[in-house]
Amino acid sequence: MTGLIEPVARLIESFSRLPGIGPKTAQRLTYHLLRAPDTEARTLAAALIAVRDDVVFCELCFDISTGPRCPICLDPGRDDSRLCVVEEPLDVLALERTRAFKGRYHVLHGAISPVDGIGPERLHIRELLERVAERSVSGDPYGEVVIATNPTLEGEATAMYLAERLREHVGQVSRIARGIPVGGDLEYADEVTLVRALQGRHELTDRSAP
């Protein structure tokens, strides 16, 4: 860029590589850090290094962790009969925030996507199948595996793939509901979502009333 000194150009470029950060935002962030107190840039730099040095993936569920096992896998208070399968560590975070699921997790780190050349072998699917089979063989099978991959083409394909392979080892394989988001508007819902909402309809009982 015209008139840009090298360290500034380099930081702008580094910021631009981040997802969702355009060149204008990268510029604004860089100039902000140039004028902010010295600690702000250095704290961010240290946090970046720490996240790469100190964070690993849990050897059991593949969620992020600071030790070989993540806090959820280590927590004796969780329900060991239920397993929830998600695509990303961020999905675990989102589900944990609801406090509605008390079981364990398994993070696939993606979804099956033939278009992008991502087959089952590129995900932590083998480990999931082994984990479930081991429990089944030891006479204590999972009561339920909830497949909470995204309701996208790839997420649905992954769910179908997993369901087939999990069924023989698990009491029940379930899929999170798809439908109109709470606070959403039928008028603006796409057709596929509406079809899913209709298909997933359930009897109104006292229990399900808001």
User: Does 122 help bind its own copies (rule: CB under 8 A)?
Assistant: no
Instruction: Give the residue with the Cβ less far from its own copies, 89 or 155.
Output: 89
Do residues 12 and 19 touch, judged by C-beta distance below 8 A? no
Task: Give CA–CA dist 154/162, Å, rounded.
Answer: 12
Residues 70-99 that bind its own copies (CB under 8 A): 70-72, 88-90, 92-93, 96-97, 99
Closest to 121 in 3D by CA, of 167, 166, 71, 161: 161
Cα 117 from Cα 156, distance rounded (Å)? 16
Say which DSSP state 204 is in: -
Going by C-beta distance under 8 Å and a sequence separation of 6 or more, which residues neighbour residue 76?
Answer: none
Shortest distance, CB of residue 91 to its own copies, whole angstroms?
10
Residue type, 14: S
For its own copies, give the closer residue by CB, 53 or 185. 53
Q: How many residues bind its own copies (CB under 8 A)?
A: 60
- Report the alpha-carbon distance of residue 83 to residue 53 in Å, rounded: 29
Identity of the residue, 57 or 196, whose beta carbon is nearer to its own copies in the bound complex: 57
Q: Least CB distance from residue 198 to its own copies, whole Å?
A: 30
Interface ranges with its own copies (CB under 8 A): 1-8, 10-11, 13-15, 17-21, 25, 27-35, 38, 40-55, 64-66, 70-72, 88-90, 92-93, 96-97, 99, 109
